[in-house]
Amino acid sequence: MSEKSIVNTIRLLENQKIERCIAFQEALDERKRAFELARLQYAYPYKAIASLAVTIISAVATYQHKNVFHLIPVAVALPYLACETDASFGRRTARIKRRADLLYRTGLAQHEPHILVADVNHRVKELQGADDME
């Protein structure tokens, strides 16, 4: 085999390795998101029961003592329950993903573009062409 074909083979293998690393990282990130959602859905019944128990106990205490201040825990428990319901079964994950994509795109617009493998290969070819001319 000639030296040039060996270099091309090594470049091809390096590009495939980079592509596989990117694909693996994306799969790993997707798995982490799925695990987090499953964890939220598993914990939801316990949180719902506890929030409803706090609400009922506060309502009974308010009625018995004729004091509205006993309803203060309800002001915390019900929004918490609503937030957890939305996180487990609602569209919260889609909204968070859209927001993250928006922030990522605006961040890219503010910074210099990332160096791509194609850019590196193009620069290497330019340098090799300059070496050949000398």
Q: Per-residue pLDDT averaged across 37-63, rounded?
A: 91
Residue 75 has a pLDDT of: 93
Question: What does the mean pLDDT of the chain come to?
Answer: 82
Q: Are the C-beta atoms of 39 and 87 separated by less than 8 Å?
A: no
Q: Per-residue pLDDT averaged across 91-111, rounded?
A: 69
Q: Is the pLDDT confidence value at 112 over 70?
A: no
Structure token pair of residue 15: 């590009």
3-class secondary-structure state, position 35: helix
Handedness of CA 14, 17, 21, 27 (dihedral sign): positive
Q: Which residue type does 29 have?
A: D
What are the residue boundaries of the structural domains of the chain, listed by start?
1-90, 92-134
Q: Which residues contact 24 (CB under 8 A, 6 or more apart)?
A: none
Q: What is the pLDDT of residues 17-43, one digit of tens each?
A: 888 888 888 888 888 878 887 888 888
Residue 36 has a pLDDT of: 81
Residue 4 has a pLDDT of: 84
Please state the φ and ψ torsions of residue 99, each to the nearest 5 degrees.
-65, -40
What is the C-alpha separation between 66 and 18, in angstroms, rounded? 68
Q: Is the pLDDT confidence value at 67 over 90?
A: yes
